Amino acid sequence: MLTELYPQFLTIAILHLFAVMSPGPDFALIVRQSLCYNRKISIITSLGIGFGILFHIFLSITGVGIIISNSIILFDIIKISGGLYLMFLGYNSIASNVKIVLKVDQKSKNIKNNINAFLNGLITNILNPKATLFFLSLYTFIINNQPIVQIQIFYGIWMAIITTLWFCLLSIILTHSIIRKKIQKFLNIIQNITGIMLIAIGIQLIFFN
């Protein structure tokens, strides 16, 4: 049984790893959170992204994802909402005061800010139509060949954990003291570039077919 599952698991793990490491909305968001706030906020955002993956897994296993992908109206609502949300985050990144990056923001310890950070990651991932199609494709063409639901769920949990760990690692790297010191002089520029990236990705999602 395990011998038969290994090739399938390896295929899924590799495809997912390439997908999660590719620059996209989640990647741009973590860069923004790391620059505008601190490690704690960025890691909490990473957890939100991980839970977003579980949402896509749920849609794929239950078949709801197929309904969404086949409904032009529902799919358009998701991609337009996701695009506008990313554009909103991008605008905030450009308009916010970069000075908050240089010191640990005491407000980030506030429960409200932690919840907002989590929701930023969750909403950004959930409203990404490319993520919806990616997981739907995995479950339609690869994982659905596996009739045991528990194994399908295991694959989903695995991908959610790996996604969270990857973005947590990225958060730790970007908020490291050495990295901070090197980019300190260019924070405004980097923050503006990140904001522009989020806006550009948002526009791309809106016109994504």
pLDDT tens for 59-71 read 888 888 778 878 8
Specify if 82 maps to a domain: yes
Q: How far is CA 105 from the centre of its chain?
A: 23
- 78 and 130 Cβ atoms separated by less than 8 Å: no
Q: For residue 198, how many C-alpha atoms fall within 13 Å in the half-sphere facing its CB? A: 28
The one-letter amino acid code at 185 reads K
Specify if 117 maps to a domain: yes
Specify if 52 maps to a domain: yes
How high is the pLDDT of residue 132? 87
Range of the domain at 100: 25-206
* High-pLDDT (> 90) share of the chain, %: 33
pLDDT tens for 180-197 read 777 777 777 878 888 898
**How many domains does the structure of the chain reveal?**
1
Specify if 12 maps to a domain: no
Specify if 153 maps to a domain: yes
Q: DSSP string covering 83-112, please?
A: HHHHHHHHHHHHHS-GGGGSS--GGGGSHH
Answer whether 0.85 is exceeded by the pTM.
no
- 5 and 138 Cβ atoms separated by less than 8 Å: no
pLDDT at 98 over 60: no
Residue 116 banded pLDDT, cuts 50, 70, 90:
very high
Specify if 99 maps to a domain: yes
Specify if 7 maps to a domain: no
Specify if 6 maps to a domain: no
Task: Provide, for the chain, the percentages of residues in helix, strand and coil under a 3-state DSSP scheme, each rounded to the nearest 5.
Answer: 90, 0, 10
pLDDT tens for 23-74 read 889 999 999 898 888 899 999 999 999 999 999 999 888 888 778 878 888 8
Q: Produce one character per residue of 70-105: b if its CB has 16 or more CB atoms within 10 Å, e if not.
A: eeeeebeebbbbbbebbbebbeebbebebeebeeeb
